[in-house]
Amino acid sequence: MGTEPIRWLHLSDFHVGKDEYGQQRQFEYILKHIAEQQHKEIAPDFVFVTGDIANRGNKDEYTDFVNNFYAPLLASLGTEPETKIFVIPGNHDVDRGKAKAVGRYDILSDVGNFFDPNHSGFEERGLLLTRFSCFVEAVFAPDLGEWLAAPSGGFSQIGKAN
Helix or strand (DSSP H, E) at 148:
helix 144-148
Q: Check residue 36 and give its pLDDT.
A: 93
Mean pLDDT, the chain, rounded, equals 83
91 contacts 57 by C-beta, under 8 angstroms? no
50 contacts 13 by C-beta, under 8 angstroms? no
Percent residues over pLDDT 90 in the chain? 36
Tell me the C-alpha distance between 45 and 8, whole Å: 6
Distances (CA, A) of 6 to 34, 42, 57, 74, 162: 15, 10, 32, 18, 9
- Rg of the Cα atoms in the chain: 17
16 contacts 65 by C-beta, under 8 angstroms? yes
59 contacts 134 by C-beta, under 8 angstroms? yes
Residue 39 Ramachandran class (φ > 0 left, ψ -120 to 50 alpha, else beta): alpha
Q: How confident is the model at residue 78 (pLDDT cuts 50, 70, 90)?
A: confident
Q: How confident is the model at residue 100 (pLDDT cuts 50, 70, 90)?
A: confident
Helix or strand (DSSP H, E) at 73:
helix 71-77
Q: With 90 as the cut, is the pLDDT of residue 29 above it?
A: yes
Q: Provide the 3-class DSSP secondary structure of residue 129.
A: helix
Q: With 90 as the cut, is the pLDDT of residue 69 above it?
A: yes
